[in-house]
């Protein structure tokens, strides 16, 4: 009989020895060991947002949200219990200089991907971090395709406002880090974009699936088509999830909320499918502002989506 049966780790309320919390998968990287598997890194940058954003707080709330879930997928009868998420911590952001911050993001993501054999799970931050993230990802992976879940094209011109959370995909195209034909935008929404930027994306031969396409064709059918097409040209696929692709009813904690977005069932079907694709080798979630969220609903949605991706990946 264990005399210390009822001593638990501090903060472990209502601990039950038969329940493993998903937060236990997160294990702090020791600063030197070469690791394999999954790497989590937070990018608390949101000063680059066009509108007011507290997305810099999201890496913390998303990590904490993992404690809301267990490691067990009942739908697959699969337990993620042995899956380690090596947590590299957060990238130090420059207090005032956005370009310097982006450079640090590029340097750190690049170091993680070069020194370790890992699938990056990057917690933003706003959508501006996509540019340094993908730049680093592309340099280590070769020809890269992007599947972008977003309400917006994010190809604003760089002359009016400089690099921001409205410009990352334009920067990637214009710096030739990705080819337009290998950019797939899914969930682009009515009354949230302009014709000029729709035309810009088409001129670059990027693929656009609006929310109407998602409703009518179905997300898995779209992704099957997309993966089959990208597989002809790319070495790896990076999945970018701007949480504002999800309807405001499910994701109230985004700076740009709105109706007509994706529901969570559709999102999870997408990430379960993507988890099974060997070409999918990197992931980021951006645009969650915990300061305007309700009970961390949107951060919890991010954690649940990551678990869905991981369980999908391990599907047998």
Nearest Cα residue to 131 out of 151, 112, 154: 154
Cβ distance to Ca ion smaller for residue 51 or 202: 51
Structure tokens at 292: 């305007």
Q: How far is the CB of 279 from Ca ion (least distance, A)?
A: 23
Nearest Cα residue to 126 out of 243, 185, 59, 45: 45
The DSSP output letter for 129 is G
Residues lying near Ca ion in the complex (CB under 5 A) are found at 127, 150, 152, 154, 242
Nearest Cα residue to 119 out of 237, 260, 254: 237
Query: Angle formed by the axes of helices 58-65 and 297-313, to 10°?
Result: 60
Q: How far is the CB of 263 from Ca ion (least distance, A)?
A: 19
Angle at 48 between CA 120 and CA 271, to 5 degrees: 35
Residue number closest to Ca ion, CB atom: 242
Q: How far is the CB of 154 from Ca ion (least distance, A)?
A: 4
Cβ distance to Ca ion smaller for residue 185 or 277: 185
Q: Is 232 exposed, middle or buried (0-12, 13-18, 19+ CB in 10 A)?
A: exposed
Indicate the length of the chain as a whole number: 316
Q: How far is the CB of 79 from Ca ion (least distance, A)?
A: 34
Structure tokens at 27: 């294990």
Cβ distance to Ca ion smaller for residue 51 or 205: 51
Specify the pairing of strand 280-286 against strand 236-242: parallel
* 241, β-bridge pairs: 149, 285
Angle at 67 between CA 64 and CA 70, to 5 degrees: 150
Q: 146 Cβ partners below 8 Å, 6+ apart?
A: 134, 169, 172, 178, 182, 183, 184, 237, 238, 239, 240
Q: How far is the CB of 207 from Ca ion (least distance, A)?
A: 16
Q: How far is the CB of 124 from Ca ion (least distance, A)?
A: 10
Cβ distance to Ca ion smaller for residue 154 or 284: 154
Cβ distance to Ca ion smaller for residue 101 or 128: 128
Cβ distance to Ca ion smaller for residue 90 or 242: 242
252 CB neighbour count, 10 Å cutoff? 17
Cβ distance to Ca ion smaller for residue 39 or 55: 55
Q: How far is the CB of 264 from Ca ion (least distance, A)?
A: 18
């Amino acid at each position: 009989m264990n005399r210390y049966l009822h001593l638990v780790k501090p903060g472990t309320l209502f601990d039950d020895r038969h329940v493993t919390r998903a937060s236990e998968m997160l294990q702090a990287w020791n600063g030197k060991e070469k690791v394999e598997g999954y790497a989590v890194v937070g990018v608390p940058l949101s000063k680059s947002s066009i509108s007011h954003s507290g997305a810099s707080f999201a890496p913390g709330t998303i990590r904490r949200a993992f404690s809301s879930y267990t490691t067990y997928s009942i739908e697959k009868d699969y337990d993620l219990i042995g899956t380690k998420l090596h947590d590299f911590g957060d990238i130090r952001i420059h207090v005032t200089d956005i370009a310097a911050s982006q450079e640090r993001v590029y340097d750190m993501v690049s170091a993680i991907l070069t020194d370790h054999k890992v699938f990056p799970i990057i917690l933003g931050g706003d959508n501006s971090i996509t540019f340094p993230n993908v730049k680093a990802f592309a340099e280590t992976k070769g020809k890269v395709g992007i599947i972008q879940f977003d309400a917006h094209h994010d190809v604003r011109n760089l002359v009016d406002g400089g690099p921001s959370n409205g410009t990352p995909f334009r920067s990637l195209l214009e710096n030739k880090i990705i080819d337009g034909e290998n950019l797939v935008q899914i969930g682009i929404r009515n009354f949230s974009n302009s014709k000029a930027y729709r035309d810009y994306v088409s001129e670059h031969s990027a693929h656009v699936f609006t929310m109407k396409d998602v409703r009518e064709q179905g997300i898995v059918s779209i992704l099957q088509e997309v993966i089959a097409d990208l597989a002809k040209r790319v070495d790896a696929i990076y999945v970018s999830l701007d949480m504002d692709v999800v309807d405001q009813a499910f994701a109230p904690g985004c700076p740009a909320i709105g109706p007509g977005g994706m529901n969570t069932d559709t999102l999870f079907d997408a990430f379960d499918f993507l988890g099974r694709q060997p070409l999918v080798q990197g992931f980021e979630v951006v645009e969650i502002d915990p300061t305007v969220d309700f009970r961390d609903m949107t951060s919890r949605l991010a954690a649940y989506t990551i678990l869905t991706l991981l369980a999908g990946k391990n599907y047998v």
